[in-house]
Structure 1
């Protein structure tokens, strides 16, 4: 459990908060690249408790500006997007991709240019990769190096990002992405379905057959490797080896080759989170078909769970289906819907002082402790944690595999990774 002060330190991410200040020092996904059209409508983006607009200019560059026009605070979502800039429809002031006021036509001609140059406009650097527009909102004059994850190096045809939106704090979202123990229970019906078995084959039985995995960890410069080892399965053990890149990313265990999934939990504000599910394949185009365990999602890639319901209707839980054998009662929906319902049911910011943690929660308190240490260290030194030349990200692959009890999962994992690299 956490005391109230530590819980607040971890979960409050607004302007000026310790955690919010640290988290702004990382490149984060803001929206899908495909959402922005040249000279098209600006897209509202809310991040870290603040409102912005993203837009694609005439020349294809992406701008990321404060939503409120610096003149009278009218929303730039209404702005005209033309001539490589946004022009506020209220008084015609125009702002460039670089965050400069380039025209203020309500000023006398003799002073218009000088006045425009004096207008403060808040903007942030952007970078497009992996089908996403990323933004850096930190304090450094020169943005940090962009994270070279494997999926950020692939063409857009090989990456398929979807965004869910949940009414919880970002840490609740992250913790759901780290917890391997709940899979045996919360997702039992999905794992045992025709779709689940077609995706996981015999691994479905392995996940369902042992609800108390043994957790082992290897610390890494970027976070840690988590091995969830299921040992009560006969003559083989089963490992789900997750890569956790703090503060946001969880690489979901999968086969050494083929389509993969990485998830991240990005704060919209203290009580709302963007949960990104990013499917990718280094060797072939992807269309999200490996996300079929998401069930019948809404069809909106910018809010794929918009139809999930809420506390007022218990997230469409079906008690008759539960009596008939469905574990969660969240029928014809996939794993994320079940995760989201559980996370929202805790309240927007769970009171972690009320928890009673067990062995299955080792990854949870490890992540919390690392984040607490990180934010305190950042406050003291201004050194951004989990980064630096040793935090090599491009080669990260999370794996799942069965192996003989006589072998060590770390050795098997390394052999599988080496085999992939040599292929």
Structure 2
């Protein structure tokens, strides 16, 4: 149980707040690359409590600027893309992707005003379908050579969704292996030809048992949490018999992501990115090891739940998450449909805009959450003391963080540790692009 003061420290992310200073040490997902497609590649972005405008100029170069024009603070998100930059419609001031003022056309012809005007700009880079931004001071860190960043474009798919609560409770649901047996329980299994792209539907490695059955019939996993050089490894063991155990290995990537298996051949790396203190986006990169991702199917599946242009969920507090009492009695544990994103959304949003952790009572299944909070508080203190926190990497360090290895499969009860590592190696050896020896964080 945390104190109210401790809860504030780990949840508040605006500029100057302790967690805000920490998160500004990292590249943050700011938008999907597809959001800048079309005739007018300009998007308003709110990230870590800051109002920004993201755009591609006429040459295709990315720019991220403070959203208020430095002239009289009009909204640059309504600007015009022309003459090599973004032009404010109020008085025509023009800014390039670096924030340099190129023109102040309403001023006298001999005016040198624009030479003294600079709009705050931020580094941006596109990786695997996501545009990342760095809002911190100094040089941004290097990207680790993780699977989701080194896989070729056809083998990755990116998406996002809006969540109406604080970033930390959204992240913490992914550290809890036990909840899936309840929150995501289905009373009947589906045919495998409908499993593609859907969480907890496919069979595990070396098994014909669908994950829905594993979770339903074996609801009490033995959970182990191991520290790694990137955060935490979480292992959930569900003993099916004396001979066989279901092994699920997931990873917490500090400070705000996790990597989990979607199926035997695909993983999800998912960030939880604060808009402000009381809302966030999840951003996910789906990475395939065996064949290019069917991006149309993946996108169509997810657009059944989310609306454009802001990726808002079609169900939420405003319509009781689609709750159906008949469904709860006969089909699903929650009565909230078949998309597990809705289940998670209810679980974390129902805790309140910012969870009051002074009122919670943690158990053994929460050991990963406890371990992560300890790391989070320690790294917040490190930043306050002027020390680089965990996973702020230079180029050489970034080359050593690979993978991370993640899987679920059914293996021998006695030799499960060797089994899961061999499953990951086997998957990598069959992939054309994968690094065959990912970090185990040991």
Q: TM-score, normalised by structure 1?
A: 0.91
Partner residue of 1:160?
157
2:177 equivalent among 180, 190, 193: 180
State the SS of the aligned residue for 1:381.
coil
2:412–2:419 CA contact under 8 A, matched in 1: no
Partner residue of 2:329?
323
Q: 1:296 & 1:199 partners in 2: Cα distance?
A: 21
* Alignment of 1:263 onto 2:264: no
State the SS of the aligned residue for 1:128.
strand
Partner residue of 1:80?
80
Number of residue pairs matched by the alignment: 416
State the SS of the aligned residue for 2:358.
helix
Partner residue of 2:356?
351
Q: How does 1:85-104 map to 2 (within 5 A)?
A: 85-104=85-104
Q: How does 1:358-397 map to 2 (within 5 A)?
A: 358-388=363-393, 389-390=396-397, 392-397=400-405
Q: 1:49 & 1:346 partners in 2: Cα distance?
A: 21
2:407–2:420 CA contact under 8 A, matched in 1: yes
Partner residue of 1:135?
133
Partner residue of 2:437?
none
Q: 2:425 & 2:311 partners in 1: Cα distance?
A: 36
State the SS of the aligned residue for 1:375.
helix
Q: 2:404 & 2:233 partners in 1: Cα distance?
A: 10
* Alignment of 1:208 onto 2:216: yes
- Structure 1: state its 5+ residue gaps: none
Partner residue of 2:202?
199
Shift of 1:397: 2.9
Q: For residues 227 and 292 of structure 1, do their structure 2 counterparts lie closer, same or farther at Cα, with a shift above 3 Å needed?
A: farther
Partner residue of 2:53?
53
Q: 1:108 & 1:226 partners in 2: Cα distance?
A: 64
State the SS of the aligned residue for 1:183.
helix
Q: 1:214 & 1:294 partners in 2: Cα distance?
A: 32
Q: For residues 403 and 301 of structure 1, do their structure 2 counterparts lie closer, same or farther at Cα, with a shift above 3 Å needed?
A: farther
Shift of 1:291: 5.6
Shift of 1:149: 2.4
Q: 2:129 & 2:312 partners in 1: Cα distance?
A: 19
Partner residue of 2:291?
284
Cα offsets for 1:296-335 (capped at 9, x unmatched): 733546654520131x43222111222334310112x411
* Greater mean alpha carbon deviation, residues 161-170 or residues 213-222: 213-222
2:13–2:21 CA contact under 8 A, matched in 1: yes
* Greater mean alpha carbon deviation, residues 342-351 or residues 245-254: 245-254
Shift of 1:10: 0.4
Partner residue of 2:110?
110
- Structure 2: state its 5+ residue gaps: 431-442
Q: For residues 149 and 400 of structure 1, do their structure 2 counterparts lie closer, same or farther at Cα, with a shift above 3 Å needed?
A: same
Q: For residues 36 and 255 of structure 1, do their structure 2 counterparts lie closer, same or farther at Cα, with a shift above 3 Å needed?
A: closer
Cα offsets for 1:146-188 (capped at 9, x unmatched): 3332222234332221111011100011011221110001110
Shift of 1:288: 4.7
State the SS of the aligned residue for 2:178.
coil
State the SS of the aligned residue for 1:323.
helix
1:265–1:274 CA contact under 8 A, matched in 2: yes
Q: For residues 288 and 305 of structure 1, do their structure 2 counterparts lie closer, same or farther at Cα, with a shift above 3 Å needed?
A: farther
2:166–2:274 CA contact under 8 A, matched in 1: yes
Q: For residues 290 and 192 of structure 1, do their structure 2 counterparts lie closer, same or farther at Cα, with a shift above 3 Å needed?
A: farther
Partner residue of 2:313?
306
Q: For residues 133 and 292 of structure 1, do their structure 2 counterparts lie closer, same or farther at Cα, with a shift above 3 Å needed?
A: closer
Q: 2:277 & 2:188 partners in 1: Cα distance?
A: 33
Partner residue of 2:229?
221
Shift of 1:251: 0.7
Q: 1:239 & 1:86 partners in 2: Cα distance?
A: 52
* Greater mean alpha carbon deviation, residues 339-348 or residues 191-200: 191-200
2:35–2:41 CA contact under 8 A, matched in 1: no
State the SS of the aligned residue for 2:402.
coil
State the SS of the aligned residue for 2:186.
helix
Q: For residues 185 and 393 of structure 1, do their structure 2 counterparts lie closer, same or farther at Cα, with a shift above 3 Å needed?
A: same
Q: 1:144 & 1:191 partners in 2: Cα distance?
A: 46
Q: 1:296 & 1:41 partners in 2: Cα distance?
A: 21
